[in-house]
Structures are given as C-alpha cells and as structure tokens.
Amino acid sequence: MPKRLVFAFVLVLLVGVAVPAGADPKGYIEAELGVGYFYGTFDQSPNVVLLVGGAAEDFCEDNPEDPFSGEPGIAPHRLFPRGDGSLDIKANDKDQPIYLYHTEFNDSPPWIAQVCQDYFDDGTTPEPFAEGTADLKVRISVISEDLVDVFNSVNGKATGVDGSEYKVRAWADLIVENGMPVGDPADFVGFTMTEIRR
C-alpha cells in the first residue's frame, strides 16, 4: 500500500526555507529520506503483505502513533524544486529490505495496527514467511499542498523460511488530494509474487 504523503509537504517547506531556489547548479538537492512502503493482495485467504524498508516491528518502533506511516528504512533521494513552486522527488535505490507476511486482514493499516498493539502489549510479532531485497523506484510530484502525484515500485527476490524462493514486484500509482488517496487501493496498488522454480 502507498504511504501517506505528509513528508512530501514537509519537504516543500524544508526546501523553501533551507535552500534558495536555483542554489544548486545540478538542478536538484540530494537528501537521505525515510523509506516505508506497504503493498499487498486483496480479498484472498490469506492475503499477502509486502513491507519495504523494515520488518513489521520496525514500523511499530519508528512511528508508534501511526505505524502505517512509519519509515524505518532510508534511501538517497533527489529533490527537484520547480520555478512554479512545485517539487519533484525521485529515488532509484537497490537492496532495500523486504518482508512478506500472511494475514487475514484485507488492508494493511488495520493489520499493522493490530501487529503493533500486540508488539507493545507483550512483545509478540508475526514472523515473515520470506524476506529478501528489492530495487526501489520512487517518483513523487508535489504539485501543490493539496495535490500530489505518486508512483513507487519495488522489484526483487525473497527467500522463504522453508527455502522457497520468490520473485516479487509491486507498485502504487495514484493521486493524493487534500492528504487522501483518490480511489480504491485495490485499483491503484499492484502486487505479484511468483515462486521461482528450480
């Protein structure tokens, strides 16, 4: 699932305050930004959730109040301030940690909320059935404080606890208006997992 875009709005303010327009001769500003993405299936039994940037408990610890908005990972990003006040954010990073979980929940926010409640109550966490690494691509266009165009994707491999190997690909492509995604996540989030046959 895609993350909330509050950090993008913060970046608009950060860029405007910290760096004068056109101060960088390359045309962009390099920054290390947090990474935390959710992708998954819908209406399956069980569903599969793919976490990028950390394991489930890492999201809980990074943002206890709103773990779905956690960003336990980090990656280099390039920020492109535009003359019209908009901002493009891009990343192309390799070897981001990924974790695969089975869940009976049909959506990631309630699942991670329950995971973190259990984690903080008694220290229990779900075990991923596979983990690995993936290449991450991010493209965010902050058109205004009320309108953001978002694309992100991962492509990688994970090894199961039973030795099985999986190829995974996931993406989200959506518009965010007034801080809320437009449409049904099932329509703008894609996820495929294929067991690699030897």
Residue 129 lies in a domain: yes
Residue 162 lies in a domain: yes
Instruction: Show the domain range for 73.
Output: 6-195
Asked which of 27-31, 48-52, 66-70, 179-183 is least confident by mean pLDDT, the reply is 179-183
Q: Are 167 and 177 in contact (CB under 8 A)?
A: no
Integer-rounded Cα Rg, in Å, for the chain is 17
Instruction: Please state the domain count of the chain.
Output: 1
Asked which of 15-19, 85-89, 157-161, 189-193 is least confident by mean pLDDT, the reply is 15-19
Q: pLDDT (tens digit, 9 = 90+) per residue, 113-166?
A: 999 999 999 999 999 999 999 999 999 999 988 899 999 999 999 999 999 999
Q: How far is CA 106 from CA 16, 44, 85, 156, in A?
A: 39, 8, 38, 23
- Any bridge partners for residue 192, and if so which? 169
Q: pLDDT (tens digit, 9 = 90+) per residue, 48-77?
A: 999 999 999 999 999 999 999 999 999 999
Q: Are 77 and 1 in contact (CB under 8 A)?
A: no
| Amino acid at the residue 68 | F
Residue 125 lies in a domain: yes
Residue 171 lies in a domain: yes
Residue 60 lies in a domain: yes
Torsion of CA 171, 72, 114, 181, to 10 degrees: -40
Residue 145 lies in a domain: yes
Residue 1 lies in a domain: no
Instruction: Answer yes or no: is pLDDT of 4 > 60.
Output: no
Residue 150 lies in a domain: yes
